[in-house]
Amino acid sequence: MLKILDRYIIRKFLSTFFFMLGIIMLLAMVFDLSERLSEFIDNQAPLSAIILDYYVNFILFYGNLFSSMIIFVSVIWFTAKLAQDTEIIPMWNSGKPFVRFLRPYMIAATVIMLISLVMNHFILPKSNRTRLDFEEKYYRDAMSVNDYHAEYPGNQVVYFSSYYQEDNLANDFVLEQWNDQNRITYFLKARTAENITGTNKWVLKDFYERKVGYPNDVVREGHWKDTVFNFKIEEMAQRENIAEAMTYTELRSFIDREKEKGSGNVPMYEIELYQRTSYPFAAYVLTIIGVTVSSRKKRGGIGVNIALGLMIIFVYIFAMKVTTVAAMNVGFPASVAVWVPNVLFGAVAYVLYRVAQK
């Protein structure tokens, strides 16, 4: 049963959070629009698409991405104000333990955490797909890939020197088929290879192919060849943020296929997968830290609490970047990397909580 104190703090928490979220997202939209306006005009992007397809989904993505940080600033802001206005003193004098004072904060943090979890796993993948499609159409530069090399299931090795999205051609395309004894059984080379959009059909120009066999090899050359491969150009030419538009199931399957290909981007995709759960849970850690550092009245006023809070946020972001880089470059497990900042700052939150109890 929620008491008057609980309802009061929960209302303060949520109203401050959504107010700050709105202000920050409004500023982000203004800065983004000032940067993208010329591209929107040059590419004749419709106003409805700019608002509905881009900025609505822009707010959903970045608002959810930074929700834990905004929670932290919100908690420090309104709790420090309560302390400066001496509203917290009667709460302390009532003789109730600190954990009782913390309870409404955790309830509000749980509400936001659950919203973030639902957003990450069910809403944002579809929302991001719409936003990224808009970006591809109206302001991103045409994609290009150089020196592509990957191994596909079935002992197929694929290489091409360059690919340009504008002409949809992979240049100097090479495919090799190897057997289980690590011997090549088929070799194909073409000056250009074009994938028919949305299918596994390919058109090769100026090709040379060799089927290795005993006693004689079979060699063919020609100017034109229609064929089918078990891969599409979309699997080869991808932007780094492609995982943002995938559901949990799609992303798991995508990661498994990238592992089979030996892709170096697997850690990045795994980080995206595990962050969808770890980031929302940071709300608990940052809420506890925020309450403990701002619930005491300080001589410098609210500004001291805000400065301390920003410093903690910077350290938290730095910790996330360090573990992410470790996962991508030195083989640190992605599932561990995304939770390390929460564990470390959870320990800090526990120490501050014990101090605040005294």
Predicted local confidence at residue 313, as pLDDT? 78
Measure the CA–CA gap between 305 and 104, rounded to whole angstroms: 20
Q: How far is CA 309 from CA 71, 344, 345, in A?
A: 11, 16, 13
Predicted local confidence at residue 237, as pLDDT? 79
Q: What is the pLDDT of residues 272-288, one digit of tens each?
A: 899 999 999 999 999 99
Domain boundaries, the chain: 4-139+265-357, 144-232
Predicted local confidence at residue 305, as pLDDT? 67
Predicted local confidence at residue 170, as pLDDT? 92
Predicted local confidence at residue 134, as pLDDT? 92
Measure the CA–CA gap between 46 and 36, rounded to whole angstroms: 14
CA dihedral 49, 51, 55, 57 (to 10 degrees): -70
Lookup result for tokens 């120490």: 351
Which residue ranges of the chain lie beneath pLDDT 50? none
Predicted local confidence at residue 17, as pLDDT? 95
pTM of the model: 0.81
